[in-house]
Amino acid sequence: MYNFQAILHNTPLWAAIIAWAAAQGIKIILALIVDKKFDASRIVGTGGMPSSHSSFTMALSFSIGKYYGFDSPLFAIALIFSFVTMYDAQGIRRAAGKQAEILNMLILEHKIPNVGELKELLGHTPLEVAAGALLGIVIGLWM
C-alpha cells in the first residue's frame, strides 16, 4: 500500500500527467474552434498545437528542478530527456509525417489496393514544441 500512496504523492509525476492532459485538452479546443467539429482522435493523438510530448517532459523536468534543485543531477537528466524528446518531435517525427503525406498521395494516385492511409500528423513545428514546452514549464513550476 505504501508504494501506491507514494505514487499518489509524487508531484513530478502528476505535474507531467497534468501537463499532458492540458496540452491534449487545448488540442481538442483548438480543433473545435478551427474545424468546427469535435475530433475524438485529438484526445490521444500525436502532432498539433501544443506539443503534449514537450509539455509532458518539461513539466517533469521543472517539477524535479523545483523540488530537488535546479543544480541536481536528476534535473539535468530530466532536462536532457526533454531536449531529446522535443528534438525528435520537431525533427524526425515531423519528417516521417511529411513522408506519409507524400506516400498517401502516391497510394491515391496509383490506386494501390489493400494499403490504408498512413497517419500524417506525427510531429510538430518548432512553434508547437515551444508552446508545449512553455506550458510544461508553467505547470511544472506551479505544482
57 or 9, greater pLDDT: 57
* 59: CB partners within 8 A, 6+ apart: 12, 15, 16, 18, 19, 20, 135, 136, 137, 139, 140, 143
78 or 107, greater pLDDT: 78
To the nearest whole percent, how much of the chain has pLDDT over 70? 94
Highest mean pLDDT among 37-46, 58-67, 90-99: 58-67
Give the residue-averaged pLDDT of 29-52. 81
Q: Please give the residue range of the domain that contains residue 107.
A: 2-142
139 or 93, greater pLDDT: 139
Question: How many structural domains comprise the chain?
Answer: 1
Q: Rounded distance, CA 92 to CA 40, Å?
A: 25
